[in-house]
Structure 1
Amino acid sequence: MDTKIKTEISPSKIIETGMGFWASKTLLTAVNLGLFTLLAKGTLSAEEIKEHLELNERSIYDYLDALVALGFLKRKGLLETATYTNTAETDFYLDKNKATYIGGMLEMGNNRLYPFWNNLEDALKTGLPQNEVKNSNMPLFEVLYSNEQRLRQFISAMGGFQMANFTAFAKNFDFSDHKTLCDIGGAGCELSIQVSTLHPHMKCISFDLPKVSEIAKEKLEEMDFSPRINIVSGNFFNEDFPSVDIITMGNILHDWGTRDKKLLISKAYQALPKGGALVVLENLIDDDRNENVFGLLMSLNMLIETYEGYDYTASKFNRWAHEAGFVRTEVMPLIGPTSAAIAYK
């Protein structure tokens, strides 16, 4: 019996997952080096890539061929005769010169999150964050926003990472009976830009802290969207939400504990008119808690990053929304593991 079991099961998944940081760091390093941005300009040999990126010759073939085997590069030829190009996905999503670039999140993963996740065991034992706030009592966002370069990287990471979901929401939500929208925690105002671009009748507000609002204003000046997007500065815990038809929150609720989640949902309810909608874009964990791996891992990331934050299921959101007074809820699947949880007043 034991022999039969041993021949029918394989350790492959255990090994691949346990050593998954090898593949992860290989990709993250390529993003940080700008490899995919370089190859977006054209096909190059290993020697040419080595010279452009100032790499050592020792493992250049192993590194590039590992990216080929992982599915992130294409290759013709072998070793000295080989030439390399991006795949369709890496060319579309990892070229810094394209508006579709999502590498900001991967850059942050490499430069910030990767070392913090080394302390997951400590986080599980203490329940405390393991990032920049580990040895202080300062809130995460106060620490992040104290350094402009770090703040800009964070905003770029969040905006680029969610862009496809913002676009999907703007395309699929029915805006016909609405005229105004406020994006709470609007960061670089990417969601507002998508909505106002696709729905010219919509007037949008991007609401965030003053330091973030300055960066959002710079972006609007570059894109000339200011007539239909208004940047409002404030603290969404301390101030009332603007009165609008739709309130959106993109990856906001998961930053906070249950009490603050309920407070933000309640504040949205108070600001909305009858028929208005609260839209929360998150990596909702499936109700059976065994399918959305990314959502569950994102919740662990909130353990690493925050004092009380966690990701949640649609059923939990529904309960909180009904407690606040909303009469109807629904879930709109977006891209990959992300969904829009919608509550109507």
Structure 2
Amino acid sequence: MQALHEELVTSQVTPTTTPNPSAIMQVGTGFWASKTLLAAIKLRLFTELEGKALTAEEIRQKLDLHPRSIYDFLDALHSLKFLNREGQGTTARYSNTADTSFFLDRNKQGYIGGLLEMCNDRLYPFWGTLEDGLKTGKPQNEVKDESTDANPFDAFYADPDRLTQFMEAMAGIQMGAFMALARNFDFSRYQTLCDMGGATGLLAIQVALNNPHMQTITYDLPAVEQVAKKWVERFDAVARVRIQSGDFFKDPFPKADIITMGNILHDWGYEDKLKLAKKAYEALPAGGAFIVIEGIIDNERKENTFGLLMSLNMLIETQAGYDFTFNDFQNLAKEAGFTRFELLHLAGPTSAAIAYK
């Protein structure tokens, strides 16, 4: 018995692998790196550096920064692979990397900084009270102290500047996925597409530009129409993309061969998700496709970390929203009437969950 006791004690204190705190520390202090990048975007560093290689002092003066931490700031961004650096110290010159040049110069069509600007201006402080959300199940954003019936999107629609920032943030997070769908889904059997909750119109634009036979509609609330108009004109897609205003909960969906929703379903609880899926089913012809673009969580719920964290963000932002697995989507779509399903990976953590009528 004594020998057995000693064996158990030994097995409890002698791990099979050496504990390593690296991952804990990297994630636990991850907001340091995140906020450094967000500050650089807010200060328009990458836009200012486009096509240039500047010294720290030149950057400091252009961005009106204090001299105390300018080298720490720029060298941290270099260490994080967001800046190139030639030389060291006062003579060093900093420039954009290929990625920051393409994605973080606000003068380029590939700019995704809108999302990161919103992360900096809105989500960063809201995530500071995640614990409250986990305890109460209530949003932690602008409607935190309001009634449970408060619409989390009303704050955006009431402020044109905030609305524009939100719309462009969504475009930033969706750009790669929308381009991948437009190029990789087989549109040859279809003629028309309606993107519900289309915001800037980016999905409808990308489908039209990459599939010359397609006519598309971007559909959203009336307050969004002017934002969409600017984007459609920006991409020279006026002849192929129609802007239609309405409320997708109150009004019938426009008839189309394909109904799409990009980062829309995760805003709502199950009953509202089901209502939207049923309305999509009713608007489609036989053989039509309902395409939902989200950070679809893997069925085992252990690989798509972004999708899981996005679902936590829905706790921060909405009354009942959550992200979901492909199995969850299939069950929802079956209840709405759909009979055939497929999953198409698009870009990064984002996939298209597709249901056919």
Q: Distance in 1 between matches of 2:234 and 2:177?
A: 22
3-state SS, counterpart of residue 218 of structure 1:
helix
Cα offset, 1:41, TM superposition: 2.7
Aligned AA for 2:75?
A: D
By how many angstroms is 1:222 displaced?
A: 4.1
Residue number in structure 1 paired with 2:340: 328
Kindly indicate whether the alpha-carbon contact (under 8 Å) linking 2:192 and 2:215 is maintained by their aligned counterparts in 1. yes
| Corresponding residue of 1:37 | 47
- Confirm or deny that 1:157 pairs with 2:169: yes
User: Please, which of 123, 126, 135 is the counterpart of residue 113 of structure 1?
Assistant: 123
Show structure 1 runs of 4+ deviating over 2 A: 1-7, 218-224
Query: Does 2:240 match 1:228?
Result: yes
Q: CA deviation at 1:225?
A: 1.8
1:277-288 paired onto structure 2 within 5 Å:
277-288=289-300
SS at the partner of 1:330?
strand
Match of 1:305 in 2: 317
What TM-score, normalized by structure 1, do the two folds share? 0.97
Letter of the 2:142 counterpart: E
Is 2:74 aligned against 1:58?
no
1:212-245 Cα shifts (integer Å, max 9, x gaps): 0122123333444222211110000001101110
Q: Calculate percent identity across the aligned residue pairs.
A: 57
Separation in structure 2 between the aligned mates of residue 328 and residue 221 of structure 1, nearest angstrom: 36
Deviation at 1:4, TM superposition (A): 5.1
SS in 1 for 2:15: helix
Match of 2:7 in 1: none
Where do 1:1-345 residues align within 5 Å?
A: 5=15, 8-137=18-147, 138-345=150-357
3-state SS of 1:207 partner: strand
RMSD: 1.3
CA shift, 1:6, in A, is 9.6
2:101 is aligned with what amino acid? D
Letter in 1 for 2:91: T
Alpha-carbon separation, structure 1, partners of 2:227 and 2:99: 29
CA–CA distance in structure 1, aligned partners of residues 104 and 132 of structure 2: 33
CA distance in 2, matches of 1:303, 1:229: 33
Secondary structure of the residue that 1:227 maps to in structure 2?
A: coil
Cα separation, partners in 2 of 1:57 and 1:269, compared to 1, 3 Å: same
Whole-Å separation in 2 of the counterparts to 1:244 and 1:167? 20
Superposed displacement of residue 34, structure 1: 0.6
2-side partners of 1:208 and 1:44: how far apart? Answer: 43
Structure 1 distance, partners of 2:101, 2:339, is 44
CA distance, structure 1, for counterparts of residue 195 and residue 40 of structure 2: 33
**Deviation readout 1:186-235 (Å, 9 max, x if unpaired):** 00101111111111111101110001012212333344422221111000
Return the letter of the residue paired with 1:244: A
Which protein is bigger by CA-based radius of gyration?
2
Give the drift of 1:162. Answer: 0.8
2:39 alignment partner AA = T
- Other structure's SS at 2:193 match: strand
How many Å separate the matches in 1 of 2:229 and 2:40? 31
Shift of 1:325: 1.2
What does the per-residue CA deviation read over 1:35-87, in whole Å, with 9 as the maximum and x for residues that have no partner?
A: 11111131011011101000111011111111111111111111112111111
Question: Aligned residues, how many?
Answer: 345
Query: What secondary structure is seen at the aligned counterpart in 1 of 2:239?
Result: helix
